[in-house]
Structure 1
Amino acid sequence: MPRVYKRKIGSRNYRNYTNERLEEALKNIRQNKLSIRLASEKYGIHRNTLWLKLKGKHNKPHGQQKVFTDQEENVFVVHIITMSDFGFPVTSFDLRCIVKCYLQQCGRKINCFKQNLPGNDWVKSFLARHPILTQRFAQNISHARAATDEETINKFFDHLEKELDGIPPGNIWNYDETNLVDDPGLKKVITRRGTKYPEKIRNASKACTSLMLCGNATGDLVPVYVNYRSQKLWSTWTENGPPNARYNRTKSGWFDYQVFEDWFLHLLLPILKRQDGPKAIIGDNLSSHLNIKVIQECEANNIRFIALPPNTTNLLQPLDVAYFRPMKIQWRKILDTWKESSRGSRYTTIPKEEFPSLLKSLMQTLEEKSSENLKSGFRKCGIFPSNREQVLNRLTFRNVTADNEVIRNVSDSFIEHLTKIRSDSTKTRQIRRKKRLNVPPGKSISAADLLNPQETANDNHVTVIDEPQPSCSYLPPPRPTAARRTNRHSDTSSECESEVPYEESDTSSGDGSVSSDECTAPGGKESLPATTEVHKAVGKYVVVKYEADYFPGRITRLQKTGAYVSVLMQCGKQWKWPPKKDEIFYRNDEIIMNIDEPVQRGTRELYDIPMMQNFI
């Protein structure tokens, strides 16, 4: 079958009339108002066609007939819709394979199909005959997001409706982070047929800049907050940007809890204070957003801080649902234009001096439909107007019910199979318990060492050490980070509450520095040095104890019941000072012993502390 049929010159036209026009002509003929010849001249339909329709002949469509009956094709449609409702949509190739399997089970041989496998043309014709089906790009969602069920959504809306009771739409705000990348994406180009890998000369990178956006249910937008990836901030990085925008920087480029606090206090809070009545801010449940200072300001100003359930931002985050996608589309267009210009083509990546002006152009482009998009996001998420059905109807599994007409036409075994697949895909993954092997260098081990470690320990010097297992089946065990040590003493004194926890992640750089993933806290051991009298003085180095872990540090302040100690963090077999000062109060019984001053090795700010080997 040709892809595009070309009618031969002089051949008869096929069906140049509508069904309504044909029925009207046949009605006049049956009522003896017109003869076949007169009706043919009046309605422009060939007289042979009118005669065949009156006799009930040649009712099949012209051209080659369909391979499958209407009933068979309807079964295919039903199964395709059911697969999509369960979260396993089929592709064009999947549909062709399904049809091939069906033909083999029926023992049929279709000559126009190569080895009984339909071609792409058949798929296009099949979709054209069934407009209820369409081809769309499928968005990949994680197993955790797929596990979101009606109970989670209903429980959220039960609490949300109480919290938003009496709050006007202008006082309901949603905040979220996003980033703008330095890559305008791929575009279709015209090139010679047969070219497999057309290339376009243009600089692009994977660099990105983080933004914080916030809007309310009436379409108002808070000024943009920009967070650069840098350790310093320069004046040229803040010029020619959007009105009232603020700028900050972190080493990782992401929002930590200090940057979030700065955004809240300097941009959002002044706006909320000018509003009358109760207010509500809705956002995801990231740990960097759960800031004590922010919560205290919310309580003092009648602001309700509402967190979304985990893994539901694609359903309940208005900015994610309706604002960020058009924003990213416009950003790619602006970036593409800039990189085509003589100025932009010279740079390998977007200079931070140029970013504010590009961001200003982006916000001006979005200004026309910004309010409409924000309102649509709140409406689609069911937040305002309050309507949980907006979210429940978007749950993949919710559309599959026993009363659904589609399901009644599908075999029970097929539904049972899909239900099992979805259950297996969304259930919590169990992690097998593991044990750490203490094997001397150069020694090998066997299965007997693992099965009977006590019997072979003396011969092979192999010991098995039980590792603590995570309380949650899919999360790693929490480590005693500096932030947790800070929170432990948050109620010791009022002065300690103002201490800034260390939460910012450290990424490895190209100069060979060690990343924060390798910087872990040492665990306590069974054999420790005997406790000795500690000489406490400012500047002295000591070992402090936090729960079952030990850390070296330097005394910075003294008090009667203890001292403030700034501790180091472990990097492999050495130690380093954390990027943010980790200084908290330790009681006298938590200061274990004095140690020698650490010895720096090389230029990477790593230190050797031999006396800490007794604690590792």
Structure 2
Amino acid sequence: MPRKYKPIVGGGYKKHSPDHIKNALSDIESGISLRKAAEKHGIHYSVLYRHVKRGPDIKHQGGQTALSFEEENLFVDRLKICSEWGYPIDSTTLRLLVKDFLDSRGKEVKRFKNNLPGRDFVVSFIRRHKDQLAVRMCQNIKRSRAGVTPETINSYFDELSNEIENVPPSNIINYDETNLTDDPGKRKIITRRGTKYPERIMNSSKASTSVMFAAAADGTILPPYVVYKALHLYQTWTEGGPKHARYNRTKSGWFDSFCFEDWVLTVAIPYLKKLDGKKFLIGDNLSSHLSLESVKLCQDNDIRFIFLPANSTHLTQPLDVAFFRPLKTTWRQILEEWKKGPGRNEATVPKDKFPLLLKKLCVSLKEKNVIAGFRKCGIVPLNRNNVLSMLPGTGIDQNQAMINLEESTNAVDKIFKELLQSLRQDQTPKPKKKRTKVKVQPGRSVTVDDFEEVDGENVTLHTSLHSDPSPCTSKQAKPMKINAKKNRKFLDSSSEDDCAYSVQDSDDDLILISSNSSDQDENTGISISQGDYMVVKIYGKTKTSFRYYVCKVSYLMDNGFVGTFLKRVPQTKKFTMTEEESFVSKNDVFRKLSSPVLNSGARFKDMLCFEDDLTDLTVY
């Protein structure tokens, strides 16, 4: 039998619609003979005879399906339930489920090998039920995102409705950062038939640039804020970009508290302070997107923060829902056009060319996407049902079977329940301690008083106030861990296990004090100043043993300093500087060393040597 049956044109076989046959059968039931009903409706006498004699047991026209009509409808219903609950079934799994169902019923289909349907079965099954089922490409979401419940959304909208009531759309801003990659992505091309690995010549890399976008509910798009991955910012990296765009740089290439404060000061406040009434900034509750200084700056201008529920930005954040996808599609087109032209020889997008490409991107942005995002997320106009409709149906309980089911229905439910139980087992993730979220009720605005309460719980907030908010002058000391494996060859082979020792972790955000100041440790009596060399204790993971290291004081802190560590050349008294930095507490300082002498010998050239007697210490 062909995969898709096509009737012979002019073969004389006519297919009647079910309604047409139903009307003819109604006339027969009213007393009209088969012959007269066949002549009246133009249906062959034998067709009506089979329908009258067999009734509901009549076979369907054409080839017969392996499953009955009722059984296929049961599979369709269960497939839709699995899709709504986030576990859609692929074609291979559907074939295996049909095999399990046939085996459980003791039914053998000769056209299937070992009762396992072929791929053509799935194609025909989808075609028969195309009004209810479709094959689509899916995207993966984390279990934490799938765990958003209607109770969470309702609680968020209860708070949100009280905050933004009677607030004009222009006063509601949604902000979020995204990255613009250097890869234009794959594209379908025309090539010679039989080519296994079609390729095109185009430079690309995994590099990306972070950009903060913000837009108001009335469609107004604020200037972008760019953050480069670099230690310094150059003027050529800021020329030719969008009007009023801002530029900054961080070591990681992502936003930190300093960048966010500068964005609030230079982009958000200049736009919102021109408006009357209350203003709101809606975004996620990442600690890197919020600080006490940001809240104070906004509170002075009658601007308040509103946080979205955790793990729900794919449902509640307008920029994620309707803005970023067309933006990324346009960016890939602009990037591909540039790489085919002026940038064909560039290994990556130079930072001095990025503003020009960003300007083309900003020109193509559409206000209707922003308005559609706020409407889909139920913010403007306020409608929580828009978000609740995107959650799985709450009226379906996959753990309970329907009442008064037949034997085939129970068999279908059983195999689907076993599949869902195997997928949902161990769904509850292990609790983890995180310090990246601010414990604030979603949908409720934030004030400075709320921050002080939160700071007393489990969240570390930035309490330093910057006198100069310029992105080019802000400095941040960020501690780094010493890589024990990297420095293993410099350690004494007779020592304990190397992996148990590492430089102590410290807070992500450090408050710098004057570089010329010095501090006196009350416990040890050792005076610490910037540039001093110290012997410090570095404890292992168990905190029961430690090792001695030599480090140079780089920055002084409230209760210690950030030191740059030295490594000792094995079996010598010589040391070399490294790039490893970490925070050292005052209590871990063991001894202060004199200024080192630079060795000028050929063997130990440019190495440091201390005049202090270190023979009684095992220094690494």
Q: How does the TM-score come out when normalised to structure 1?
A: 0.71
Match of 2:353 in 1: 354
Are 1:594 and 2:589 an aligned pair? no
> Deviations 1:98-155 (Å, cap 9, x if unpaired)?
1111112222222222332212222122122222122222221222223333343333
Opposite residue 349 of structure 2, the aligned amino acid is I
Q: From the superposition, tell whether residues 273 and 5 of structure 1 become closer, same or farther in structure 2 (CA, over 3 Å).
A: same
Q: Do the aligned partners of 1:85 and 1:400 also contact (CA within 8 Å) in 2?
A: no
In the TM superposition, 1:230-309 aligns within 5 A as 230-309=230-309
Match of 1:424 in 2: 425
Q: Do the aligned partners of 1:568 and 1:576 also contact (CA within 8 Å) in 2?
A: no
Alignment counterpart, residue 370 of structure 2, candidates 367, 370, 374: 374
What is the distance in 1 between the residues matched to 2:156 and 2:565?
41
What is the distance in 2 between the residues matched to 1:534 and 1:98?
74
Match of 2:125 in 1: 126
> Deviations 1:334-392 (Å, cap 9, x if unpaired)?
223333x342322232233332232222222233xxx2222222222222333333323
Q: From the superposition, tell whether residues 590 and 400 of structure 1 become closer, same or farther in structure 2 (CA, over 3 Å).
A: same
Match of 1:84 in 2: 83
What is the distance in 2 between the residues matched to 1:306 and 1:600?
57
Q: From the superposition, tell whether residues 362 and 98 of structure 1 become closer, same or farther in structure 2 (CA, over 3 Å).
A: same
Q: Do the aligned partners of 2:27 and 2:37 also contact (CA within 8 Å) in 1?
A: no
Shift of the alpha carbon at 1:274? 0.8
Shift of the alpha carbon at 1:7? 5.0
Q: Do the aligned partners of 1:78 and 1:406 also contact (CA within 8 Å) in 2?
A: no
Shift of the alpha carbon at 1:425? 3.8
In the TM superposition, 1:61-76 aligns within 5 A as 61-76=60-75
Opposite residue 504 of structure 2, the aligned amino acid is P
Opposite residue 428 of structure 2, the aligned amino acid is K
Q: From the superposition, tell whether residues 572 and 188 of structure 1 become closer, same or farther in structure 2 (CA, over 3 Å).
A: farther
In the TM superposition, 1:381-460 aligns within 5 A as 381-396=377-392, 398=394, 400-401=396-397, 421=422, 424-429=425-430
Q: From the superposition, tell whether residues 566 and 383 of structure 1 become closer, same or farther in structure 2 (CA, over 3 Å).
A: same
Q: From the superposition, tell whether residues 473 and 422 of structure 1 become closer, same or farther in structure 2 (CA, over 3 Å).
A: farther
Q: From the superposition, tell whether residues 523 and 118 of structure 1 become closer, same or farther in structure 2 (CA, over 3 Å).
A: closer
> Deviations 1:393-431 (Å, cap 9, x if unpaired)?
32347453489998996758678757755663431326x
In the TM superposition, 1:425-574 aligns within 5 A as 425-429=426-430, 502=476, 521-522=503-504, 532-535=524-527, 540-541=532-533, 554=553, 567-568=562-563
Are 1:228 and 2:223 an aligned pair? no
Match of 1:94 in 2: 93
Match of 2:108 in 1: 109
Q: Do the aligned partners of 1:322 and 1:376 also contact (CA within 8 Å) in 2?
A: yes
Q: From the superposition, tell whether residues 522 and 107 of structure 1 become closer, same or farther in structure 2 (CA, over 3 Å).
A: same
Match of 1:333 in 2: 333
Gaps in structure 1 of 5+ consecutive residues: 431-469, 476-486
Give the paired residue count. Answer: 537
Secondary structure of the structure 2 residue equivalent to 1:198: coil
Opposite residue 385 of structure 1, the aligned amino acid is P
Q: From the superposition, tell whether residues 422 and 93 of structure 1 become closer, same or farther in structure 2 (CA, over 3 Å).
A: closer
> Deviations 1:256-313 (Å, cap 9, x if unpaired)?
2211222221111100111111111111121211222211112111111122232221
What is the distance in 1 between the residues matched to 2:554 and 2:242?
46
Q: From the superposition, tell whether residues 83 and 531 of structure 1 become closer, same or farther in structure 2 (CA, over 3 Å).
A: same
Are 1:316 and 2:316 an aligned pair? yes
Q: Do the aligned partners of 2:177 and 2:213 also contact (CA within 8 Å) in 1?
A: yes
Shift of the alpha carbon at 1:48? 5.8
Secondary structure of the structure 2 residue equivalent to 1:187: coil
Q: From the superposition, tell whether residues 78 and 570 of structure 1 become closer, same or farther in structure 2 (CA, over 3 Å).
A: farther
What is the distance in 2 between the residues matched to 1:75 and 1:51?
29
Secondary structure of the structure 2 residue equivalent to 1:360: helix
Q: From the superposition, tell whether residues 544 and 304 of structure 1 become closer, same or farther in structure 2 (CA, over 3 Å).
A: farther
What is the distance in 1 between the residues matched to 2:618 and 2:327?
56
Q: From the superposition, tell whether residues 535 and 101 of structure 1 become closer, same or farther in structure 2 (CA, over 3 Å).
A: closer
Opposite residue 180 of structure 1, the aligned amino acid is L
Shift of the alpha carbon at 1:215? 1.1
Match of 2:344 in 1: 345
What is the distance in 1 between the residues matched to 2:302 and 2:505?
43
What is the distance in 2 between the residues matched to 1:86 and 1:69?
26
Q: Do the aligned partners of 2:550 and 2:566 also contact (CA within 8 Å) in 1?
A: no
> Deviations 1:207-228 (Å, cap 9, x if unpaired)?
1111111112222111112222
Counting aligned pairs with the same residue, the percent is 37
Secondary structure of the structure 2 residue equivalent to 1:175: strand
In the TM superposition, 1:114-263 aligns within 5 A as 114-130=113-129, 131-263=131-263
Secondary structure of the structure 2 residue equivalent to 1:282: strand
Q: From the superposition, tell whether residues 109 and 594 of structure 1 become closer, same or farther in structure 2 (CA, over 3 Å).
A: same
Q: Do the aligned partners of 1:255 and 1:288 also contact (CA within 8 Å) in 2?
A: yes
Shift of the alpha carbon at 1:89? 1.6
Q: From the superposition, tell whether residues 520 and 286 of structure 1 become closer, same or farther in structure 2 (CA, over 3 Å).
A: farther
Shift of the alpha carbon at 1:174? 0.9
Q: Do the aligned partners of 1:251 and 1:506 also contact (CA within 8 Å) in 2?
A: no
Match of 1:479 in 2: none
Match of 1:438 in 2: none
What is the distance in 2 between the residues matched to 1:407 and 1:243?
65
> Deviations 1:428-487 (Å, cap 9, x if unpaired)?
326xxxxxxxxxxxxxxxxxxxxxxxxxxxxxxxxxxxxxxx757999xxxxxxxxxxx8
Secondary structure of the structure 2 residue equivalent to 1:113: coil
Q: From the superposition, tell whether residues 295 and 148 of structure 1 become closer, same or farther in structure 2 (CA, over 3 Å).
A: same
Q: How does the TM-score come out when normalised to structure 2?
A: 0.70
Q: Do the aligned partners of 1:521 and 1:569 also contact (CA within 8 Å) in 2?
A: no
Opposite residue 392 of structure 1, the aligned amino acid is L
Q: From the superposition, tell whether residues 190 and 5 of structure 1 become closer, same or farther in structure 2 (CA, over 3 Å).
A: farther
Match of 2:496 in 1: none
Match of 2:572 in 1: none
What is the distance in 2 between the residues matched to 1:523 and 1:250?
21
Shift of the alpha carbon at 1:177? 0.8
Match of 1:2 in 2: 2
Match of 2:448 in 1: none
Match of 1:460 in 2: none
What is the distance in 2 between the residues matched to 1:352 and 1:3?
55
Secondary structure of the structure 1 residue equivalent to 2:375: helix
Opposite residue 378 of structure 1, the aligned amino acid is F
Q: Say which is worse superposed, 177-186 or 326-335, in terms of deviation.
A: 326-335
> Deviations 1:553-611 (Å, cap 9, x if unpaired)?
64989xxxx989752266999986789x999xx99x998763445789999x9999998
What is the distance in 2 between the residues matched to 1:606 and 1:278?
62
What is the distance in 2 between the residues matched to 1:142 and 1:376?
25
Q: From the superposition, tell whether residues 327 and 275 of structure 1 become closer, same or farther in structure 2 (CA, over 3 Å).
A: same
Root-mean-square deviation over aligned CA pairs: 5.2
> Deviations 1:17-76 (Å, cap 9, x if unpaired)?
7566777788899999x9789868xxxx67568766886789644321122111111221
What is the distance in 1 between the residues matched to 2:380 and 2:345?
47
Gaps in structure 2 of 5+ consecutive residues: 438-459, 489-499, 507-520, 569-575
**Which of the pair is proportionally richer in helix?**
1
Match of 1:458 in 2: none
